[in-house]
Structure 1
Amino acid sequence: MNLATATHPTSTLKDRDSTDLIVVHCSATKASADIGVRDITQWHIQRGFDTVGYHFVIRRNGELENGRPEHTMGAHVRGHNANSIGICLAGGVDANNKPENNFTPEQFATLQALLSKLKARYPQARILGHRDLSPDKNGDGKITPNEFIKACPSFDVAQWLKNL
C-alpha cells in the first residue's frame, strides 16, 4: 500500500458525526493519466476546497493513497459530506471525455479490500456510486440513468458488489 497522503490543514477540517454512506467516485480522467492524491488535492484547492475532498484515492496500479483523514467530513458529494466517506478511482472517461468503465483489475481488487475494511468499521453504511445520490426526479423510487446528475463513477457500484 502506498503511504502517500494529502497535505491538509487538519485544523480546518471538521469531524464527521456519523458514517451512513461510503461513496465511490472516479477522477474523470483518461486511462492513460497516472494521477493520485497529490494531483486531486491541487485540483480541489484550485476549486476553493481546503484540501482533497476524498478520504481515499486508488491509483491506476491499485495503490491506495490516503486523502483527508478518515474521521473528518468529506467534500465529495453535496448534501452528504457530513455522513459519508469518499473513495476516488483514477480514471473513468474515454479519449473523448465520455464516461467509461476503464478501471484496472488492480483498482477493483484494492476497492474490494478497502470496502471490506470500511464496512467492518461502519457496518450500517450503505455503499453506492456518486451517481446513485442523484435526485429521483420522477419519484418512482429508482434513480435511473436519465436522472443521473453525473455518470460518476462510470460503472454500477451496486451491480459490481452483487457480482463479487
Structure 2
Amino acid sequence: MRTITHIVLHCTACPQSATVASILNYWRQELGWKTPGYHIIIPPDGCSQRLVPDEQVSNGVAGHNARSLHVSYIGGVDGQGRPLDNRTPAQLAEMERIVRRWKAQHPNAQVVGHRDFPGVTKACPCFDALTWWASVTRK
C-alpha cells in the first residue's frame, strides 16, 4: 500500500459542460499522458467517476504523485476562462464524501489544493482547499 501524504483537490479548468471522455481524450492526445490526472472526477451532477485505482499513481501534480490522491470537479472557470469556484451543490457534497473517506483511510494526509504546492502557478482548484476542508471538519 502506498503511503499517502496529500489529498489533492483540483478543478479541470474547463466549462462544466465538458465530458469526462473529452477530458481523457485531451490528456491522451494533447498531453501524451498514459495515465489520467486524477483518481476521481466529479461532473456537475455529482456522480463521480473513478479514473485510476487509489493504489496506482495518477498525473495530478508533477513531482508529488507517488504520495498523493487526486480528486477534481469539472469546472473551475467562468465564460471567459477566468478562475471561478463554480462547484455545484452535488459536486460539493461528493467532494466532501470522497475526501472524508480518503482522510479516514489516510488520517495523516494533508488536504490541499493543486495551487498549494511550491512552484505551481495555476489557480486550481479555484478555491482555498485548506479553508474549505477546515469548514467541512467543523460540521
Q: Could you tell me the TM-score, scaled by structure 2's length?
A: 0.91
Runs of 4+ in 1 over 4 A off after TM superposition: none
5 Å-filtered alignment, 1:3-152, equals 17-31=2-16, 33-36=17-20, 38-46=21-29, 47-135=31-119, 149-152=121-124
**Structure 1: which 5+ residue stretches go unaligned?**
1-15, 136-147
Q: Distance in 2 between matches of 1:160 and 1:58?
A: 17
Q: How far apart are 1:34 and its partner, in Å?
A: 4.2
Structure 2 counterpart of 1:154? 126
Shift of 1:43: 1.2
Residue type of the alignment partner of 2:2: D
Q: After TM superposition, give the deviation of residue 122 of structure 1 in Å.
A: 1.0
Give the number of aligned pairs: 135
User: Matched residues, percent identical?
Assistant: 34
Measured in 1, the distance between the counterparts of 2:92 and 2:117 equals 21
State the distance in 2 between where 1:117 and 1:72 align.
17
| C-alpha displacement of 1:39 | 2.5
Structure 2: gaps (5+ residues): none
Alpha-carbon RMSD: 1.4
Q: What amino acid is the match of 1:129?
A: G
Contact 1:27–1:92 at 8 Å: present in 2 too?
yes
Higher relative contact order (CA 8 A, sep 6+): 2
* Distance in structure 1 (CA, Å) of the matches to 2:117 and 2:103: 19
